[in-house]
């Protein structure tokens, strides 16, 4: 993406270059963390010059902002798809957990979960974007939980907002521990137990 936000032909590749840069950077963040890679890593992987990277993304902070924006948009689209294709609230929660499992199966972590671990070291714009990502996820979960409570398919103590925060925190933490063991099944078991605490099969 150019500084204007639109794909443009660059010095080393054409319109797909910014997409390739983002793909490479996203993988590096999800596997290593934001502070553990440099432009040199991306330039080497894609056989680009660092000048070309700076042409598309002026600095690492701008690249980070673009990464979060793209990731958040993909998540938003996934949640819209769940709303459109999944039935009752409990199934929606399971589909939501499935988004995390899919990332973990690819030997990666949630992008914003990785960035949250480095929160204090990130530029302010990136910190704000990470917060917006989690706010959006919690807001979606809160709506699902409220709907499930109204129609009797979900039960949980406290407010829907508190339950939504518990789900996000629990899934992010379960990913981290499962990654340590290299065991996706460990994550799936933890996610299942977490959602069991708020889900009840329809009568």
Q: What is the pLDDT of residues 136-195, one digit of tens each?
A: 999 999 999 999 999 999 999 899 999 999 999 999 999 999 999 999 999 999 999 999
Q: Against a cut of 0.85, is the pTM above it?
A: yes
Are 198 and 145 within 8 A, CB to CB? yes
What is the assigned CATH class of domain 67-196? mainly alpha
Backbone angles phi, psi at 154, to 5 degrees: -130, 150
pLDDT at position 5 is 36
Q: Does domain 1-58 correspond to CATH entry 1.10.260.40?
A: no
| Half-sphere CA count of 13, side-chain side, radius 13 A | 20
Comparing C-alpha atoms, which of 13, 127, 15, 141 is closest to residue 75?
A: 141
Where in the chain do CATH 1.10.357.10 domains reside? 67-196
Where in the chain do CATH 1.10.10.60 domains reside? 1-58
6-20 pLDDT, tens digit each: 333 334 445 569 999
């Amino acid at each position: 993406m150019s500084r204007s936000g639109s794909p443009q032909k660059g010095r080393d590749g054409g319109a797909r270059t910014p997409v390739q840069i983002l793909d490479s950077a996203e993988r590096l963040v999800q596997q290593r963390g934001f502070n553990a890679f440099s432009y040199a890593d991306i330039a080497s992987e894609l056989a680009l010059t660092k000048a070309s990277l700076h042409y598309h993304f002026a600095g690492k902070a701008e690249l980070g902002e673009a990464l979060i924006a793209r990731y958040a948009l993909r998540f938003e689209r996934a949640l819209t798809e769940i709303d459109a294709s999944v039935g009752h609230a409990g199934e929606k929660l399971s589909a939501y957990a499935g988004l995390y499992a899919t990332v973990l199966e690819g030997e990666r972590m949630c992008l914003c979960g990785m960035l949250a671990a480095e929160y204090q070291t990130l530029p302010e714009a990136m910190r704000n974007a990470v917060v917006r990502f989690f706010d959006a996820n919690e807001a979606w979960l809160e709506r699902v939980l409220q709907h499930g409570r109204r129609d009797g398919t979900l039960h949980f103590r406290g407010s829907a907002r508190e339950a939504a925060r518990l789900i996000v925190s629990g899934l992010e933490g379960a990913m981290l521990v499962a990654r340590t063991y290299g065991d996706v099944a460990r994550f799936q078991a933890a996610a299942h137990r977490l959602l069991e605490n708020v889900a009840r099969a329809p009568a």
